[in-house]
Structures are given as structure tokens and as C-alpha cells.
Structure 1
Amino acid sequence: MRIRQNVGILLTAALTVGLVGCGGNNGSNSTSSSNNSGNASSNAANSTNTTNSANTSNSTNSSNNGGTSNTSSEEVGTVDNLKITAFNWGWDNADPAKDVVLPELKKRLGLKDLTYDVIKTGGYDDVVQKLQLWASTGGSDWPDIVTTGSDSRTKLILNNLGESGKLEDLTPWLEKYPNVKNAVEKLLPFTSDPHDGKIYSIAQNFSNMQAYAIDQPTIWIRKDWLDKLNLPLPKTVDDLYNDLKAFKEQIKDVNGQPVIPYAAFGENFRNMIKLFFPPDQNDGTGVWYTDANGKPARSDVSQSDNLIRALTFYNKLYNEGLIEKEAFTLKQGQIDEKGNQGRYGAVHGAYWEQANPFTDSMKKTDPKAEFVGVQLYDPTIASGPSLPKFRLEAWSLWAVKAGLPKEEVNTFFKTLDYVLSEEGTILTKYGLEGQQWERNADGKIIDTKAFFDETQGDWNKRAHFGIDVYSFIPNYDALIKNQAPSGYELREDMIETWKNLGSKFPTEYVTDPQRYVEPGDVENKATVGQGERYKQLVAKAVTAKNPDGIKKLVEDWGKNVKALGYDKIVAEREEAAKSIHLENLK
């Protein structure tokens, strides 16, 4: 699964396994390391293998060599065969004929067999249905060790199974393996059962504030056009309006085609309406926050004045021709065509979506052409720009079936512990030294020329060699320490963007519990179709010939939302927030 975030991936090729980036070829297939272990080069072991290696060589080996101090008074042995189950719905998996990681991982762990069983599905909803089917049998069909998604439906299934004694409480194992506990500790409040406080699942892949650079500033603007007109970078929404107007009046056309000052909305509905609200209190409809009275609130309903001001601002841009008349019907392909032609003065989105591709296309005919990112603010409600805050979240979870031999569970945690070591991270993330990777002059890991020529950095092609397939749990510190900067980090437009923002990374976590509450049954039923209705509200307000009617549109919107059960949703969310504990993020 490709992870879509509000921050860009600094560590190229997302950390992946199971639900987050590996796949099978046909239906259900297993990748086993019981054969062909001789195909793994010893180069990686020669260069990185240390006493931290997890040599679980036989079923009675209880040495805890995976970089963990054994906090349990009871020594537990290991098994020499381990099976892990994961899901896939469309990406490539390791090719047994090319896989160099799994045989080497098995060898370093001292396992005779490490089987990675991949169940292929048509989509994520099919994954949830499969979990529900397993759960309906009382957990008898549940795999011994499985990685799942982390949505509210899946968490409910896992907690219900755990409470009925079908899943292992992982709390004692986290105490036994402090490296694993430290890796997932900040996320435990999101995975602990809200009823009994036990831990029936732990994060498998998750976000990290120090590893994800800001990829989506308020807006990307044509720096070369500003320079041509001797205009500074905009700071406020009013500055942006003046710049857009100058683009229309003074740049006028590009290769005979009229300039389009601002690419807003389109089929992906890109805009900056949230800028007209206090930070973290609006991102379109459906985003909740905690108000001054400690109650859940939704800003499109509770802050009507700010929404009116935002829509009035866009209405002015629309009626003055600073955004396209077709703004709400444009397909992304149409926007891309105009952007590549160099006709837009400002765009939205993550760097890889529009800004960087447009810049690259424009530079073919105009070397000075360049979009750079800036963070704006609305002086009505803020005294300066604010950086995006970072939302900590798990994208996938581990769950272990109850009643397994302790030796099997111990072997699984030893495997996690080894993958968390720097040595294990380098193996699972990059492959074998000399074959897939080498170090550059700065001591950072880069692809060997032969490996890059063969894969061209393509995630799926790299996965054929086992790269990123067996990253069972991420060690971000090791990745940050070892990985060379990616190509986009070295781009001049990105360097200037982060300079404009004042930071390359977010500096604060989102700490409002309402931003972490999953929608409940009441909310899901009451808000069916509301996202599309919100887009219709925005389109009607922005394209109105007379802005005087915007106030009534917004007031009517609020009344309709409340009539559909807003107060019941507030009560449901208020109760749900009681189980969200974010003290460790503050």
C-alpha cells in the first residue's frame, strides 16, 4: 500500500511489509527461505554482522542476542521455523529466484525456515472482510502471526478477539523486548484495548516526525515570475491576491496562451480554505477539533464567520478571473497539461503531485522557471504563518494468536528485535553490501550502479530482490543515519522551499485528541454523502455572481448538518476521546 500523508517521505521507498508494501503474485502464495540460502552473498554479513546478531540456531536457544536485554525472569527458548502472514492487493512481492534478503535474514536469525505467507485480495475492504470471516469462526482460522490494517473496523475486530481470549496480550513481550517497546511506545495509546487496557496489537509501520519532511506548504508560487515583477514572496492571503493579480495583468501570456494565475479546486479539490481558520481546526468538512469548552466541534459548523470569509475570498478570485471558470469541473489531466506548459502562477499539493513535475517540464524551454513553496497566513486570525503539525499514526498492526507456544512468540519478537537493530535495518531496507548497495564519499548508503540500472529506483522492481519487503518494524534512527539524501532533497526548489518555511520538518505533534478519534457508528451514518455536499456548497459560493448570498449558504449548511445529528456525533466523539491518551506527545 502506498501511504498517502500530509508530509512527504524523506526516506525513499516507504518502510513496508504486509499491508504496507509487499505483495503476492497469485492468490495466496508463500515465500520461504528454507531453500536457496546459499544464494545470499556474505558481503553484508562480513561488513555489518556483529555480536548483535540474533543467532537463534535451534529450538532451545534462549540467548537474547538481538540487541535486547532480557527483562523476564523466565528464560524462553526459540523455534527454528516461523510463519508470518500478510495481505497484498496489487503491488509486487519478492521473487524467490531473485530474493537476497529473506535467505540472509533466515541465516542471521538461525532459522531453518522463515515463511512469509501473502494473501492477495482485490482491495482493502476485502482484507477487512477476511478478518471478519476469521473472527466469525471464533478465531480458529486466525493466522498465528499476522499484520493487518489499523482502521477502526480492524481495531474493533482485534480488540473483540483479544477480550474473548483469542489474541495474545503483548504487554509481557514488550517488557521482555524493550527495543521493540521503545519503537512502538508512542503509539500504544492508539492500539491498547479501551476496555481492559491490554495490548492485543502493536504498530507494524508508523509515521515519524524526524523522518518525514514537510512536502505540502500552503501554496507553490512561480518564483521566476515574482522576480521578473520585482515582487517578494507572499506572506499573507492578501499578498497572494496582489501577486495573482499582477500575474494576470503583467505576465499576461505564455507562448501565446493566457496566463492562469492560480490552479484551485479541480477534481482533487485543492484549496487553502483551512488557512482562514485557527491552525489544525479545519481541513474541509469532517475534521473535528476540541473547542475552548473542551467539547468536540467541527469548524465548518462552529466557525461560520471564518468559512464565510474563506469562501468570499475565493469568490473574489473567481469573479476577477484569477482562477479558471472551469475550476470545479477540471480533470487532473487538464490541469497537468496547462501546468506543464507553464501557464499557472500558483498551485497546491505535495511536491511530487504538481510543483516539481511542472517545474521540470517548464525548465526544458525556460531554465529560470520554478515553483517554490511558501507558508501563508490570514492576518484576521493569525499574526504569522504556522508549520503543519505532525499526526502520529500507525498504518498497520501486528497481532499474535493466543495459545501459541511461548517459544514461537519469542522467536517472532526476536525477529522484530533483530530487524530493529542497525544491522537488521540495513539488510531489510537495502539488501546486501556490494550487490544492492554501497557507501558514497560521505559514508551514506546508495544503490550500486548495477542495482540502480536494473531497478531504476522503482519500488516494485526493488521488491523482487526482497528490498523493503521484510522491514517488519522501522528503525528510523538507523535509516536517517545511513541513507543518503534522496534526489528531491537536493533540488534547489525544495531547498529554497524549506528555507522559506523555516524548517524542513514539522516541529510539533498534533495533540488534540479529536484529531485521533475514529468516526463511530452514529457519525458514519449521519455523514453519508456529506463530503460531496460540502464540495457543492463551496462551488456554489465561489461561483456566485453576488457574494452577499454566501452568508445564507453557510448558515443553511450549518443548520442542515445539525439537523442530521450533529449533537449526537458530539456526544459520541466526546465519549471516544476519553480513551485517547496523548500525554507522551506533549
Structure 2
Amino acid sequence: MKKMNMKKAAAATASAILATTMLSACGSEPSAAKDGAGKTNEAPESISIITEFNTPEAPGTDNPVLKEFEKRTNTKLNIMWTSPNSYNDKINLVLASGEMPDLVKVLDFNSSLMRQMIQQGAFWDLTPFLKDYPHLMEYPKSVWEKTKIDGKSYIIPSVRPLHGGPGLPIIRKDWLDKLNLKVPETLDDMYNVMKAFAEQDPDGNGKKDTIPLVPRNDLGWVEGVLNHSNGKWKAQDGKLIDTTFEPGTREALLWLNKIYKEGFMPADYAIMKETQSEDLAKTGNAGIYPNTIEAIWRVQAELIKTNPEANFLPLSYLSSPAGKYAPSTPGFSGVYLIPKSVPEAKMKKILSLMDYGASEEGFLLACYGLPDIHYTTDKDGFKIATEQAFKDSVSQSSFGKIFERFDKYLWAYRTGMPKELFERNKKIVDERETASVDDPSVGLISETWLKAGPDYTKKMNDLKTKVIMGQEPIEAWDSYVAKLKADATYMKVIDEMNRAYQAVKK
């Protein structure tokens, strides 16, 4: 693929999808304004951004927090808020079109298309400039190191806490209490809880209509518990092991097949969108729902309107013979890039904008909004959200997806959450830190995987789903694993990942 010459079909499709989106982002530059003394001020810099949001509604163009950011940073922000549903597909089309906004968020740090475009010079190398932006430099050094590509910083990490993220179930504590059940610590405990949720009418409506588990397209935690691994790779005896070949992966498929056959999760779980899973959880029929510690408040806040006792408890860990398991995050959730088509002066203005967002003042504005409008403060300094905060979609899941500061307990709090729940969640974050399992592969690259990985991943995930749903026997997985072990291309990936791992260790 030649430099900046993407496939014509992808470009044409992307152009069509972007046509309406970009209209709002490509307005004419505002003219210079004059202040009260008659002096000419610098015109606001127009900056277009594409990112995702996880609030019920995206902030509008007249949002007071947006306007305040523009005022404080002398910018005109044209934000293309995009649903998390199929976000990766949308971004791939945006990248392939060549007609990108000024600031682009990519959720998949290992996106082969993004990596190819970086190699082709499509994005700014920010390495020489970042030192001039002190608040961005306050991000953990480990996060900056993990997100370097070929030793350079092409991206701004969408910084997030190390603990409290996705990867463990969250369970209805009020249902456990009603059925006199303990908080589950093992997969056997989880099975017994699901069985009780299915058969013992925990919601008390006299019907067997509860859904023990709503997966949210996230069943990897079962493999994680059994393999004691955080993702596809784990470090063992000084090298990287591909967990595809681990007995725990096979065991996880058998366990999940049992759960599926028992009817403990939706029959169509594999095709449910993220928003559909959350909507199902909000009906009050779901007993277990994997998510971040703070995001579950979106569900609980709806349930307590009609059932004040509803209480989702994030698990601190799950255990197996290998030990306690609580997956850590790499410290970021997605990355931001600035296309090279953006002039250098504007690129620096974008960095200034992001630097302000990483300051205490900017972060406060992004996540909490304006004092006395979006929040009030109690005597202990705890911020209490007002109704206006919800109306204006003020949250770390909207503006806080762009303007970010490293905060250990960011995933412990959600707009509107009561103080006692925040304090409980902080303790869970601390407990997860003691059982933390890291992903040793973050930042490591196999060139072969960049090209062939998407195809392997799709086939692997499709087969896992078929085994879980009983459409294929477990022997089909055994056969597939045997073929992978004899596949020279796949084994080359393992070799390349280990070379990269050893290089980092040195």
C-alpha cells in the first residue's frame, strides 16, 4: 500500500458516512474579535475531534461545559460524538478515507491500519513537542512508555486508572442477601449463584424471568481466572506464553458452554450491542453484569428509582488454584492522534487544549462541570451532582473521554453517585490492586500479527462462540489448536512477540 493511498472502496464508503458528520466540523474559521479596549484578539482556533461517549445522550453543540472549554482555551470545538456501538468499524472508515478530523481517537492501540498509517507518516510525531506540555507529562511514565511506537510518541494516551476497569463481574448484592448467598470467590461459586438467581426468584415477582448473567460481549474474564492471565499473553519462565494453547482456555469454553446450556445468559448474547446489554441490565432482571466499577452506576441509578434496595457490587477478585485474579489495565483506554495534514501551529494548539484538559482545573470542568450549576460541594469536599449535570451529559464518560488526568479512583466515581458508594468503591479499587494481574504484551508488536492477526482473531472468536453455544463440540477447538501449532505463520507471531518481550526486558 503506497503512502496515504488507501483502498478506493473503503475511502468511498468512508466519505459517504462522513459526509454529514463532517459538515458540522468544517465550518469557516471565525474572524478575529475585539476586546473591550478595542484591541484585536487572536481568533479562536477551530478544532474538530472524533471520540466516543457512554452517557445516555451526547453533549449538544450549545453545552455550557463545551462553551466554557472554548472560552478558557480560545478554541471552537466541533466534537463528533460517536456511539460505542461499532466504534472501531467507524474509525477504520475514517482513517481509510484520508479525510480525518484534527484529533482522532482510536480505541484499539494495536490497530493494524493505524500502525500502517503511522509508518506511512500520516500522523504527527509528537516526541519533540510533548516536553512543553507539563500536565500531559504528569501522566504516568509507564503509560507514555507503553504507548510509544518505534521509540516515538505519535499518540496521546486516553489515560485511565490501573485498577477498577472492566474484566470482572458485578453482582446484585441485594439478591445475594435475599437468598442468603455469600459473595462468590471462585467459578464454582459463580455457577451456584447463577443457578440460584435462575431458580429462586431473587427479584420476588413470582416468576422465573431473571437473567443470571448479561455478558456485555465480555466473557474473557473466565479465561483470565483459569489461566491467571490478562488477555492473550502471559509471562511465564521468562517468556511470553500464548494462552490460546493453555488448558484454562479449553476449560473456560466448557464452563461457558455449561452456563449457556443452562440458560443462564441470553441466547443471542453474541450479537448484542453494548447499549443493548446495558438496557437489558436496566430492566432489573439481570443478576451479573461485567463492567467498570463506576459505569455500573448508570444501571443502578435507573433501578433505584423503582427499587431503592437495588445494589450492584463490583467483585474485588475471583480465585482459582493459580491465585486471586483482578486484571489491571495498561493505564489507558484508546489513543489520540493528530493527522500530519494539520499545520504545526494548529498541532501545538491541540496539544495546549489537551494539556489544559489534563490540568486539575480542566479535569474538574470535564468530569464535574460548573460549580453551583452542575454540582455542589459538601463540607468534606465531596461533589454532589445536580439535575443539570445529567441534562448536560457532564461526566467522565463524555467530556472526560477527551480531557483526562490520571486519577487512581476515577473509576470509583460516577456523576450522581452517593458518597458512601464512592467510598466503598475506593476500597474495592485498593483490593483489586493487591490481586492485580498485568498484561505483559502491552506495547509489544509482531509485524506478522499486524497483517494476519485480524483474520486469526475473527476465526478464533467465531469458533469460541460456536463452542459456547453448542454449535461445535469442544473437539473442534482441540483440532483448531492443533492446526495453529502446525501453522508456520502463527508460530512466527509467537516468536516475534517473544523477541519484542526480551528486547524490552533488556
State whether TM-score is above 0.5.
yes
Which residue number corresponds to residue 202 of structure 1?
155
Which residue number corresponds to residue 188 of structure 1?
144
In structure 2, do the counterparts of structure 1 residues 168 and 337 end up closer, same or farther at CA, with 3 Å as the change threshold? Answer: closer
* Contact 1:25–1:92 (Cα < 8 Å) also in 2: no
Instruction: Letter of the 1:116 partner, please give it.
Output: L
Distance in 2 between the 1:335 and 1:183 partners?
Answer: 31
Matches within 5 A, 1:393-472: 393=332, 395-399=334-338, 401=340, 404=343, 411-427=349-365, 429-447=367-385, 451-452=388-389, 455-456=390-391, 458=393, 468=399
Q: Which runs of 5+ in 2 are unaligned?
A: 1-19
Identity of matched residues, %: 17
Q: 2:452 aligns with which of 511, 515, 522?
A: 522
2:480 corresponds to 1:557 = yes
Distance in 1 between the 2:100 and 2:197 partners?
Answer: 61
2:244 corresponds to 1:289 = no
Query: What TM-score, normalized by structure 1, do the two folds share?
Result: 0.61
Shift of 1:430: 4.8
In structure 2, do the counterparts of structure 1 residues 329 and 311 end up closer, same or farther at CA, with 3 Å as the change threshold? Answer: same
In structure 2, do the counterparts of structure 1 residues 278 and 315 end up closer, same or farther at CA, with 3 Å as the change threshold? Answer: closer
Which residue number corresponds to residue 274 of structure 1?
223
* Contact 1:388–1:506 (Cα < 8 Å) also in 2: no
Q: CA RMSD in A?
A: 5.3
Which residue number corresponds to residue 263 of structure 1?
212
Deviations 1:426-484 (A, max 9, x none): 445555545555444333445556x34xx535359x99xxx839x8642345996xx98
Query: What TM-score, normalized by structure 2, do the two folds share?
Result: 0.68
* Contact 1:31–1:115 (Cα < 8 Å) also in 2: no
Distance in 2 between the 1:234 and 1:242 partners?
Answer: 9
Q: 1:238 aligns with which of 174, 188, 192?
A: 188
Q: Secondary structure at the match of 2:121?
A: helix
Instruction: Letter of the 1:523 partner, please give it.
Output: G
Distance in 2 between the 1:486 and 1:507 partners?
Answer: 27
In structure 2, do the counterparts of structure 1 residues 31 and 458 end up closer, same or farther at CA, with 3 Å as the change threshold? Answer: farther
Which residue number corresponds to residue 85 of structure 1?
48
Which residue number corresponds to residue 5 of structure 1?
none
Q: Which runs of 5+ in 1 are unaligned?
A: 1-22, 40-56, 60-78, 135-140
In structure 2, do the counterparts of structure 1 residues 498 and 237 end up closer, same or farther at CA, with 3 Å as the change threshold? Answer: farther
Q: Secondary structure at the match of 1:503?
A: helix
Shift of 1:329: 4.3
Deviations 1:266-301 (A, max 9, x none): 78474753255232255xxxx23344351441x23x
* Contact 2:48–2:78 (Cα < 8 Å) also in 1: yes
Distance in 1 between the 2:466 and 2:394 partners?
Answer: 38
2:322 corresponds to 1:381 = yes
* Contact 1:87–1:120 (Cα < 8 Å) also in 2: yes
Shift of 1:512: 0.4
In structure 2, do the counterparts of structure 1 residues 277 and 243 end up closer, same or farther at CA, with 3 Å as the change threshold? Answer: closer
Deviations 1:475-520 (A, max 9, x none): 345996xx9864346476x876776786376875725026864741
Deviations 1:134-181 (A, max 9, x none): 4xxxxxx888x544436432233134217xxxx654333223334333
Instruction: Letter of the 1:176 partner, please give it.
Output: D
Which residue number corresponds to residue 246 of structure 2?
303
Deviations 1:19-42 (A, max 9, x none): xxxx96845444967589999xxx
Matches within 5 A, 1:10-409: 26=23, 28-30=25-27, 82-87=45-50, 92=58, 94-95=60-61, 98=62, 100=64, 108=72, 114-117=75-78, 125=89, 127-134=91-98, 146-149=103-106, 151=108, 152=111, 153-161=113-121, 168-183=124-139, 185-194=141-150, 197-199=151-153, 201-203=154-156, 205-209=158-162, 213-214=164-165, 217-218=168-169, 220=171, 223-226=174-177, 228-229=179-180, 231-242=181-192, 254-258=204-208, 263-264=212-213, 268=217, 270=219, 273-274=222-223, 276-281=225-230, 287-292=232-237, 294-297=239-242, 299-300=243-244, 302-304=245-247, 306-313=248-255, 323-324=262-263, 328-329=267-268, 340=283, 346-350=287-291, 357=299, 361=303, 364=306, 370-375=311-316, 377-382=318-323, 385-393=324-332, 395-399=334-338, 401=340, 404=343
Shift of 1:361: 4.7
Instruction: Letter of the 2:335 partner, please give it.
Output: S
Distance in 2 between the 1:354 and 1:424 partners?
Answer: 25
Shift of 1:315: 6.0
Shift of 1:397: 1.8
* Contact 2:157–2:333 (Cα < 8 Å) also in 1: yes
Distance in 2 between the 1:428 and 1:364 partners?
Answer: 30
In structure 2, do the counterparts of structure 1 residues 228 and 252 end up closer, same or farther at CA, with 3 Å as the change threshold? Answer: closer
